[in-house]
Amino acid sequence: KFKHRSSLNTHKKTHTGEKPFECNFCKAKFSGRSSFQYHIRIHTGEKPFNCQLCSLKFKVKSALTRHMRIHTGEKPLKCDLCEAKFFEQSALLNHKKIHTVGKPYECVYCEAKFSHRSSLSAHIRIHSGEKPFKCQFCEAKFSLLANLTSHKIVHTTVKQFECELCKAKFKHRSSLNTHKKTHTGEKPFECNFCKAKFSGRSSFQYHIRIHTGEKPFECELCKSKFNAKTTLTTHIRTHTGEKPFECKFCK
């Protein structure tokens, strides 16, 4: 099982042997678009991810994300045993080695240890398979209430707002209005820090958090904070072990 649908789709190709992306330079083939695009940049030297605050460019988005923290001072990775914060995962892992105690809650099945009782409770469900939160509209069940809440949106909203230019449909009028700007090129939201412009309010607000370091989305299990709701959703799965995207070939 996989946390992301895109990961599932790429994985399926390991069963079929499909590698639809071929490099024009060396004929190497790839099953996933992202690995293919990264490979192409080895040949072209292209660095499409540009820092808006300085002149540096990067081949991959993750490298740009780490670089931006130099400008913002953001240290999103917090040690769950003390108040130390870090720019990169490798630095956090190295720091954790200094701690020998501090996780009093131990799993009786696999001896994994946790700093918070709530984190242990969520972890236990990986072993028990318990999913106490059931959707009232279908048979879907979830180990966390937050995941159920996100799921219910599928049932309670309908894509009723249609773009008259390309017939794309959206659940919310605000999403339709943002989409329309892709046709007009309008970008009404401008960043006061670096003058970058955006067509949608949500992407604009996310960008602002890069500068301010604001993290309004907090994990109820370990109190980690994130600047985007999607990042929080993915993070929660590290507690629950949930992998919602299942391969039909090897399930």
Name the pLDDT band for 152 (thresholds 50, 70, 90). confident
User: Is domain 161-211 in CATH 3.40.640.10, yes or no?
Assistant: no
Give tens-digit pLDDT for 39-71: 888 888 888 888 888 778 888 888 888 888 777
Per-residue tokens: 240: 């629950």
The domain segmentation of the chain, as residue ranges, is 161-211
Q: How high is the mean pLDDT of the chain?
A: 80
**Are 166 and 183 a contacting pair, CB within 8 Å?**
yes
Q: What angle do CA 57, 63, 12 make, to 5 degrees?
A: 120
Give pLDDT tens digits for 107-134.
888 777 777 778 788 888 878 878 888 8
**Cα(225)–Cα(218) distance, integer angstroms:** 4
Strands 21-22 and 29-30: antiparallel
Helix (H, G, I), strand (E, B) or coil at 122: helix
- Specify the higher pLDDT residue, 101 or 4: 4
CB distance 108 to 214 below 8 Å: no
pLDDT by residue (tens digit) across 13-26?
777 778 888 888 88
CB 168 within 8 A of CB 174: no
Of 97-106, 148-157, 241-250, give the lowest mean pLDDT range: 97-106
Rounded CA-CA distance 151/139 in Å is: 12
Which candidate, 213, 179, 182, 209, places its Cα nearest to that of 196?
A: 209
Distance CA 22, CA 126 (A): 39
The values of phi and psi at residue 140, to 5°, are -65, 140
Predicted pLDDT of residue 100: 45
Mean pLDDT calculated for residue range 230-236 = 84
Per-residue pLDDT tens for 174-211? 888 888 888 888 888 888 888 888 887 888 888 888 88
Q: Residue 20: CA atoms inside 13 Å, Cβ hemisphere, count? A: 8
As a whole number, mean pLDDT of residues 71-82 equals: 80
